Structure 1
Amino acid sequence: MKPTFLTFACLLTCLSIPAAQASDDPQYLIQSCQELVDAYTEADQLRTIAKVASSFSEALRAGYCMGRVDEYRRSYECATDDWFEQAARIAEMPESFSTRTTVDELLEHSCAG
Structure 2
Amino acid sequence: MSPIMRPLAWLAASLLIPVAHADENAEPLINSCKELVRIYAKRDEQRLLASISTSRSDALRAGWCMGVLDEYRRHSSCDTDDWFTQALRIAATPIALDGKEYVTADLLEKSCAP
TM-score by length of 2: 0.70
Query: Tell me, which stretches of 5 or more residues in structure 2 are unaligned?
Result: 1-13
The match for 1:21 among 6, 19, 22 is 19
Equivalenced residues, count: 95
Cα deviation for residue 46 of structure 1 reads: 8.3
Structure 1 ranges of 4+ moved more than 6 A: none
Q: 2:107, 2:70 → 1: CA distance?
A: 14
Query: Tell me, which stretches of 5 or more residues in structure 1 are unaligned?
Result: 1-15
Cα deviation for residue 20 of structure 1 reads: 6.3
Q: 1:22, 1:50 → 2: CA distance?
A: 28
Cα deviation for residue 83 of structure 1 reads: 1.1
Instruction: Please tell me whether Structure 1 or Structure 2 has the larger radius of gyration of its CA atoms.
Output: 2
Q: 1:32, 1:26 → 2: CA distance?
A: 10
The structure with the greater share of residues assigned to helix is 1
The match for 2:30 is 30
CA contact (8 A) 1:30 1:90 kept: yes
CA contact (8 A) 1:39 1:47 kept: no
The match for 1:103 is 104
Between the aligned residues of both structures, percent identity stands at 47
Helix, strand or coil at the partner of 1:21: coil
Cα deviation for residue 47 of structure 1 reads: 4.6
Distance 1:46 1:25, change over 3 A: farther
Distance 1:56 1:96, change over 3 A: same
Q: 2:94, 2:19 → 1: CA distance?
A: 25
After TM superposition, the structure 1 = structure 2 runs for residues 1-16 of structure 1, keeping only pairs within 5 Å, are: none
CA contact (8 A) 1:40 1:47 kept: no
TM-score by length of 1: 0.71
Q: 2:20, 2:66 → 1: CA distance?
A: 12
After TM superposition, the structure 1 = structure 2 runs for residues 83-94 of structure 1, keeping only pairs within 5 Å, are: 83-94=83-94
